[in-house]
Amino acid sequence: MENKLERESIRKYWVFFALSAIVQIIFLIWIREYFWIVLPWVITSFSKALRII
C-alpha cells in the first residue's frame, strides 16, 4: 500500500517537473529576462521527484 502511494506522489512531482521545465523553456525563448522566476518550481519538483527533499 505504501509503495503504491509513494509511486503516485513521485509521479505527481515528475509531472510538475515536466510542466515547469516546459514553462522554463518557453520563458527562455520569449521572456528571457524573467526565466529565473520559474527556477524554484523546476528545482523543487525535480529534487522532490528524486526524493532528495
User: What is the per-residue pLDDT across 8-24, written as a single tens digit (0 to 9) for each?
Assistant: 678 999 999 999 999 99
Q: What is the pTM of this model?
A: 0.82
Model pLDDT for residues 20-49, shown as the tens digit of each residue: 999 999 999 999 999 899 999 999 999 999
* Among 25, 22, 20, 12, CA closest to 42: 20
∠ CA(27), CA(42), CA(13), 5° rounding? 130
